[in-house]
Structures are given as C-alpha cells and as structure tokens.
Structure 1
Amino acid sequence: MRDRWLVDGTHVRFGVLANAWKETVRDAMADIATNLASAKVQVRRAVFRRTGDPGERKRMLAALAADRWAGDPFLARQTRKHWKRGRNRTHDQIVVRADQHNTVTDGRGRLWLAVPGLERRQMVRIPLSTTVAPTGTLRLILRGGRVEVHYQIDASQMRSSQRPCGDATVGVDKGYTEALTDSDGVRHGSRLGELLTSESDRLKERNRRRAKLRSIANTAALRGDHAKARRITVNNLGTVKRDRRAARHRARVRTEIFTAADRVADKAATVVAEDLTKSFAGRRTLGRNVDRRLAAWTKGVTAEALTSVSERRGSALVHVNAAYTSQACHRCGRLGRRNGDRLHCTSCGVVWQADVNAAINILQRAGDPDIALHTPHHAVRQILQDRTDRHRTRLPVQDSSPATTERRARHPNRSLMSNSRKQVDR
C-alpha cells in the first residue's frame, strides 16, 4: 500500500514528510493485523464447536493460520462475522520514528520535544509537563488543544515490577462493588462500586440536562433564531470539559483495578481467574439503571490488569471456564438460588457470600478434568447436574475409560468429597 501511494502520487495530498506518513501507515496496518488476530481466536472456538473430527479441525486451523480462510465457506463466514474492522476514533495523530525527534532542556529546567514539522528541515518544539524525556517511537495526538505524547516503556524497570509475588494459589472473581474477591474471602478494590455508581448517576443527570438544552436549541433553530441555537451549542453543549472529566474517571477506575490486581499478586504465585474475554448472554432483562452502572468496559480493564500485573510480577495467570461458578455451591456442586450478593444452597441449607463462593469455584475449576476452558455452558450444566445426581444417589462414576480414570486419579472430583467436608463444617 505504501509503495502504491508513492507511485500514484496519493502521498502528496497528505502534506507531511515521507517518514511521518510512512510510519503512520505502518502503525495502521499493524492495528488491522491485530484486529484480525483477535477475530481468529473466536473463529478457532467456532471450529472446535463445529466438528470433532481431528483431521477436519487440523485442515481448517491450518487454513486459518495461513490466511487461506477465504476459500472455505465456513471459515469465511465466521471471519466476516468476528472481524468487525473496527473504527479508529482518534484523529489528528502522527507517528514519529526514534531517529526523527530529540529533546532539550532550557535554562529554566523545562523539557522541550522537537519533532519534524510540515516543511523540510523545520522542527516543531513542544513543551513537556515532565522531566523524563520520551524515547523510542512516539505517537503524537492533538486532542482538546493539547498534544499528547505516547511512547513505550520497559515494564520490567517499573517500581511495581520489582515487588515479588506471593507463593499461594488463589482464585479470583470479578465483582461490581469491589474489583476482585479471592478464594480466601478477601476483597480487593472495594472503592470500585462507589466510583462506578456515583459517575453513572452523575452522567444520568447531566445527560438529562443536556438533552433539554439540545431540545431548546433545536426549537430555536426551527423558529429561525440561529443565534440562540449557536450560543447554546457553543456555551452549553461542548465536549472538551465532558471528555476531560470522563478521562479522569477512567483513570481512577483503572488505578483502583490495577491496585487490586497488585494486591492479589502480593499473595499469589498462581492466579486462577475466569476468561473475561468471553461474553455470556443474560437470561433476564436488567433495569436501565443497573445496565448503566454495570459499565461493561471495566471487564476489559480487569482482564488487562490481571494479565499485565501477572507478567510484571512473575505470577502465573490461569484462565478457566466460568460457566455457573456464581450459581453453584462450592461445597456440594448443586445449583442454588442467587439473590444479590447471597447464594442460597437448597441442598446444604447454607447461604454463601456469592463472590467468595464464585472465587472458590473458580479455584476448583482449575483442577477439573471434565470442564475445559471452552466447554459450552450447556455441557457444563449437564456435568454439574450429573455429579449432583451421582452424589445424591451414591452411584459410582459412569465413565470408566482408562484415560478418564487416570484424569480423575490425578484430579479427584471435589464434589464427591462434599459430604465429609459438610460434616467437618457442621
């Protein structure tokens, strides 16, 4: 694409030097490749769901890895479904190579960044609000009248990366009122629910007022009073202050979640967590206020925090299938009744704290020989029901194949030991 633009003269319309637009094109193509790689993860799951034939799976996975998916109808359909071709909403940005910029400190100790301008051999100098000089390839974004300078740093040199991880193995469950709850019953990031609720309620009131002002402006424009409509739009419906406050809120939420992940790493050498990249369709419709407060984007931040902190701190992150972990009793495995933050087990007659119960189930799921990471939720439900029935009727395990027997010997079914634990707990 870069060479084609050079030949047909498309690059002349950009109005910037060749080094700048070439790096920006390379960055955009890398984003497209990353988006496609993310879609391939979903397509692989669809392949495993479609067929159990090892030969057919191997053929389809090989075609997907070699980017020959367009020739297979199923792969082409699944790739088109999951490859959304995302839209980049960041404008006025440019990528600057490491050898194209430099920094200098003036007599007052202020740091300035010099980058190539639109004219050859002309540099643009940008004052920085830090004393640390950016290094490597830079991404410059003009946003809200300010220049943002983005660059990469070595995570291993960060102060938090020098903290050793613990030596325990814990399961963690993502929550709303707190970021994470571990299998020991400890809650981490307890201010998350307060941050999300207060910001959600504030946005509801602010959007209500903005909608009323927008209605007044539209009515004035229909009457021909365009001056009034413009005054309302300029003075009352701006986005600079709104976007700045939203960025501060996102930063506070990220800080709370990353701090919670660090506290989990303080005690754990192995962190067992649910696969937060998988979406589950809700069975019941929640209220509008609840939908607004749940803030689905925090799930991605939590997944990012667990992955990033585990890599920096040296702890192992194990993903497990989260189906029914918040609805099954960790003692007997029976599906209970969930009501808010409480889970009532009708078999044990015990009311558990729902997040702690889910964290224990997630920890136990790591050693489960029957429930894999991508086992469909309906199959998980059937497995849990079969275990409950066998436990209630005291029947032996039905599958006596050598492979299954060996797996069960290495990973004993915890639900079969629930009776002894029940007696100890009582």
Structure 2
Amino acid sequence: MKVTRIAYSTRLNAGKYAALAEQARRLGRVRGEVWQRYGSIGGVGSGLRDREVRDRWLADGTHVRFGVLANAWKETVRDAMADIAANLASAKVEVRRAIGHRTGDPADRKRMLTALKADRWAGDPFLARQMRKHWKRGRNRTDHQIVVRADKYNTVVDGRGRLWLAVPGLERRKMVKIPLSTTVAPTGTLRLILRGGGVEVHYQIDASQLRSSQRPCGDRAVGVDKGYTEALTDSDGARHGSRLGELLAAESDRSKERNRRRAKLRSIANNAARRGDHAKAHRITVNNLGTAKRDRQAARHRAQVRTEIFTAVHRVVDKAATVVAEDLTKSFAGRKTLGRNFNRRLAAWTKGVTAEALANVSERRGSALVHVNVAYTSQTCHRCGRLGRRNGDRLHCTWCGVVWQADVNAAINILHRADDPDIALHTPHHRVKQILQDRTDRHRTRLPVQDSSPATTERRAKHPNRSATSKE
C-alpha cells in the first residue's frame, strides 16, 4: 500500500516560482484538452489509453502548440486520463447501487453488472440512462500542477545541509532548483502543486515504512459510529477524537466572522469603484481581500482535523481485528431541514476524511473493515430491537424503560448488523424499517418466523439475529 507525503519549499525565489507557474499554466491547457476530447463515451469510455492519445498528438502535431517539453505534456496526459478513468469508476459505483435497488433477480443483476464492468452498458437502456445521469462530461481548470517523472529530476544536499530539488523547466536542459524544508529526499513520480508563492511536492512511499504500520491491531470485533462532537464512538462506549467538534465549531465561527468582514470591505471597494475612486478600491483589494493568509489558515485547520481523525481511528484499531462501520463514501441527504449555522459546522468533508482514515489505517495495520447498512441504528434500542424516540444525543426506549446514549447505542447496533442475515448493505431504508417492525410484532405475539423455507432456515442458523434473540 502507498501513502502520500508532502514536502514544502522554503524561501523560494520569486523568479523561479513565476517560471514554474507559467509551466503549470501551459500544462493546464493540456489537461483541459484531454478532458474536452476524451472525457466521454468516445474517449476513456471506449477503452482509449493514454499512450494512444500521445501517439495521436505526436502524429498530428497537437503537442507543438502547448510549448512545453515532451515529458511534461506526456505525463500530464497520463495523469488526466487517469483522472477521467477515476471519474468513470466513481459513476459505476453509483450505477451498481441503482442496479441493486432496481431488481432482486440474481440473474438479471449479474447480467447488468457484467455489462457494466465490461463497458457494454450503452446497449442496455437502464444502464445507459444511469450512466448518463452519473457520468457527465467534466471540465478541468487545473492550472497549478506539474507532474514530474521519477527519472527527470534529481536532489542534492548543499554544504549547509539544505535539500534542493531540481526539476525540468520550460527549456531543454535547464533545471529549476527548489529548496525544500525537509532532509528526506522525495522518491518516485512527483506532483508539484503551486500555492501562494510556494511549492508543495507530493510523492508516495510504501506504507510499511511508516512506524504506525508496525503497530499490531486488536483481537476483537468493534462497531463504530461517526459523530460530530467526537470523531468516533465505539461499541464499548469509548469516544475517540473528542476535540473534533471543538475544532470544527471554532473554525466555522471564525470563518463566518471573517467572511462577514470581507463582504463589508468588498462592498466598500465596489462603491468606491462606482464613484470613480479606483485607487481606494485597488488598495482595499490588494491589502484586505487577499487569499494567502486565508489559505494558510484553512490548510492548518484541515491538517488538525485529519490528525484528530486518524488518531481516533488508530485507537479503535488498537483493540479491533474487525472494524464494523457505515459506508461513509455513500452520498445521502437528510430529511430534516437544518439551520445554516449547523450545516456550516457539520463540515461534510470530514466524512470523507473519516472514510479514508478507516480504510487506510485498517489496511496498513492488518484489521478488516466491514461496511454495513446503518439505517435506523441510532433509533433502535440495541437491547430489545424496538424503535425508540431519539431526542438529541439520547434514545428513549419505551419498551425497556431505559435511556441510552445515542452514539453508543448506534455503535452497538452497527456491530450487530454485521451478523444480520436480513439487512444487506444496500437494503432500502424503508425495507429496513419494515423488517424491524416485523420483528417487533413477532416479539409481541410470540409468533414464529414467517419464512420457514429450508434456505432461510439454514441462513438464520448460520447468522443468528441478535436483536430477535435478546432477552425482553
């Protein structure tokens, strides 16, 4: 497994930054051209490869008008084609979910999944309609990145112990030397990202080299529920990443106040420009409406949140050989209308960071990550299996007469879902509710299981339903 590391430039000369920025701008045109020509069914969707694109451009002379070295535009073409392929794969994930919702016939489902995998979906009306819905032609406006092949750069340490990275410029055999703030030389293919007068050098290393990868995982199965005030709550009742809510709330409130002030200054600048006082408008724009400081603060906040979430996941894996969790890569919309402040503080991007951390840490440390359907896990009593009343962070079970902490209760239910034979990962939420209500009715009337077919009986024997067999 590979993980990404970032090295930063230090005190980079303005002339060097301008040269790199011009190269990145020209390579941005290459990316845009690739997306425009090949980001559809007739391009990557038809199985076109980046080498074929390079051969075409060399044959018809397309590469000449970009004004960059051959290796630079070829690597950019390869990177852009990989982005389009990833976009296509992401659309296919959504289509697979749509197939699961559309049909319960195993043969029909297998036929559609096979056609989707083999890129023969254009002949099936349903698949074609779903692909048009989820895979739309994209546009790429990235003009601040340079991809450098592993054999096209070199590193050297000067007499004062500083590490310098030399990368190709716009002219042949003329390198641009970048001073780095680290003593560890980057390896492999590099991605240079230009921001605010500096350069970020992104590269990948083997995860086994990391010290955290050597930590052993636990020996139990643990369910986890994602929260807001803390990153994760596990089925043992422990909370991990308790500073997450404070970080998100503080940054959200600070961002709200900063944007309010910026809006006021922008209004003053616009009024001055309308009056003809362009000097005042220019001074406000240059001195008060810049983005360098804002971007630095946002990057620092993102780093703090990632550290908090990854640390929380490591603590869960310390005691778990199997981590049972919600599929956080799935997009969904809540049915409640929340206030603007709450939506802003919720920071949906942290959901993706948590999903990345769970997958990354579990794979590196040898634990298994199991995704389950979490519909109604926060509204169901884990002791009796009945739907209760959720009020804030508390769940009131009228049958048991107990008030549970909602996140702990949800984590226990998530752990139980891993052994539930009736509720699959993509079972619709309304079907999940019906299953839970049917179980409640059988509890009340003491009726046996209605489906007594041999296949169902055998499946239930292998996967006992914990909710149905719990004590009343």
Same fold (TM over 0.5): yes
Q: State the Cα deviation string for residues 97-131 of structure 1 (Å, max 9, x = none).
A: 11111111111111111111111111111111100
- Is 2:391 the counterpart of 1:339? yes
Q: State the Cα deviation string for residues 363-408 of structure 1 (Å, max 9, x = none).
A: 0000000000111111000000100111111111101011111111
Alignment partners' CA distance in 1, 2:318 and 2:139 = 38
Alignment partners' CA distance in 1, 2:105 and 2:409 = 37
Contact 1:35 1:85 in 2 (8 A): no
Deviation at 1:255, TM superposition (A): 0.3
Deviation at 1:58, TM superposition (A): 2.5
- In structure 2, runs of 5+ residues without a counterpart are 1-52
Deviation at 1:265, TM superposition (A): 0.5
Question: How many residue pairs end up in the alignment?
Answer: 420
Q: 1:289 aligns with which of 319, 326, 341?
A: 341
Deviation at 1:234, TM superposition (A): 1.1
Task: Give the 3-state SS of the residue equivalent to 2:304 in structure 1.
Answer: helix
Alignment partners' CA distance in 2, 1:281 and 1:259 = 28
Give the alignment's Cα RMSD to 1 decimal: 1.3
Deviates more, 1:382-391 or 1:212-221: 212-221
Alignment-derived partner of residue 391 in structure 1? 443
- Is 2:63 the counterpart of 1:5? no
Q: State the Cα deviation string for residues 243-290 of structure 1 (Å, max 9, x = none).
A: 111011001000000000000010000100011122333122011111
Matches within 5 A, 1:293-332: 293-332=345-384
Task: Give the 3-state SS of the residue equivalent to 2:470 in structure 1.
Answer: helix
Task: Give the 3-state SS of the residue equivalent to 1:98 in structure 2.
Answer: coil
Task: Give the 3-state SS of the residue equivalent to 1:153 in structure 2.
Answer: strand
Deviation at 1:88, TM superposition (A): 4.8
Alignment partners' CA distance in 1, 2:465 and 2:425 = 17
Task: Give the 3-state SS of the residue equivalent to 1:230 in structure 2.
Answer: helix
Task: Give the 3-state SS of the residue equivalent to 2:390 in structure 1.
Answer: strand
Q: 2:174 aligns with which of 119, 122, 138?
A: 122
Deviates more, 1:173-182 or 1:139-148: 139-148
Deviation at 1:309, TM superposition (A): 0.2
Alignment partners' CA distance in 2, 1:86 and 1:153 = 30
Contact 1:91 1:141 in 2 (8 A): no
Contact 1:217 1:228 in 2 (8 A): yes
Q: 1:167 aligns with which of 219, 226, 230?
A: 219
Deviation at 1:412, TM superposition (A): 1.8
Deviation at 1:352, TM superposition (A): 0.3
Q: 1:133 aligns with which of 185, 188, 191?
A: 185
Alignment-derived partner of residue 243 in structure 1? 295
Alignment partners' CA distance in 1, 2:88 and 2:309 = 28
Alignment partners' CA distance in 2, 1:86 and 1:154 = 32
Q: Which amino acid aligns with 1:318?
A: V
Alignment-derived partner of residue 203 in structure 1? 255
Contact 1:93 1:140 in 2 (8 A): yes
Alignment-derived partner of residue 418 in structure 2? 366
Task: Give the 3-state SS of the residue equivalent to 2:160 in structure 1.
Answer: coil
Alignment-derived partner of residue 9 in structure 2? none
Contact 1:32 1:85 in 2 (8 A): no
Q: Which amino acid aligns with 2:236?
A: D
Contact 2:385 2:468 in 1 (8 A): no
Contact 1:144 1:240 in 2 (8 A): yes
Alignment partners' CA distance in 2, 1:329 and 1:279 = 26
Deviation at 1:71, TM superposition (A): 2.5
- Is 2:102 the counterpart of 1:50? yes
CA distance 1:317–1:30, change in 2 (3 Å): same
Task: Give the 3-state SS of the residue equivalent to 1:152 in structure 2.
Answer: strand
Runs of 4+, deviation exceeding 3 Å: 84-90
CA distance 1:416–1:50, change in 2 (3 Å): closer
Q: Which amino acid aligns with 1:377?
A: H
Deviates more, 1:349-358 or 1:408-417: 408-417
- In structure 1, runs of 5+ residues without a counterpart are none
Contact 2:149 2:189 in 1 (8 A): yes
Q: Which amino acid aligns with 1:38?
A: S
Q: 2:113 aligns with which of 50, 61, 78?
A: 61
Alignment-derived partner of residue 75 in structure 1? 127
Q: State the Cα deviation string for residues 206-226 of structure 1 (Å, max 9, x = none).
A: 111111111111111222222
Task: Give the 3-state SS of the residue equivalent to 1:385 in structure 2.
Answer: helix
Alignment partners' CA distance in 2, 1:342 and 1:52 = 36
Deviation at 1:90, TM superposition (A): 4.1
Deviation at 1:342, TM superposition (A): 0.6
Alignment partners' CA distance in 1, 2:139 and 2:301 = 23
Deviation at 1:334, TM superposition (A): 1.2
Alignment partners' CA distance in 2, 1:9 and 1:372 = 53
- Is 2:156 the counterpart of 1:104? yes
Q: 1:260 aligns with which of 287, 312, 318?
A: 312
Contact 1:221 1:229 in 2 (8 A): yes
- Is 2:247 the counterpart of 1:190? no
Q: Which amino acid aligns with 2:251?
A: E
Alignment partners' CA distance in 2, 1:88 and 1:167 = 46
Q: Which amino acid aligns with 1:170?
A: V
Alignment-derived partner of residue 455 in structure 2? 403
Deviation at 1:310, TM superposition (A): 0.1
Alignment-derived partner of residue 33 in structure 2? none
TM-score normalised over the length of structure 2:
0.87
Deviates more, 1:4-13 or 1:295-304: 4-13
Contact 1:391 1:415 in 2 (8 A): no
Q: 1:269 aligns with which of 316, 321, 325?
A: 321
Matches within 5 A, 1:402-421: 402-419=454-471
- Is 2:91 the counterpart of 1:39? yes
Q: State the Cα deviation string for residues 131-157 of structure 1 (Å, max 9, x = none).
A: 000111111122111111111011111
Alignment partners' CA distance in 2, 1:278 and 1:336 = 25
Deviation at 1:190, TM superposition (A): 0.4
Alignment partners' CA distance in 2, 1:346 and 1:84 = 48
Task: Give the 3-state SS of the residue equivalent to 2:284 in structure 1.
Answer: helix
Contact 1:169 1:272 in 2 (8 A): yes
Alignment partners' CA distance in 2, 1:353 and 1:319 = 22
Q: Which amino acid aligns with 1:145?
A: G
CA distance 1:175–1:162, change in 2 (3 Å): same
Deviation at 1:34, TM superposition (A): 1.0
Contact 1:97 1:136 in 2 (8 A): yes
Alignment partners' CA distance in 2, 1:341 and 1:403 = 40
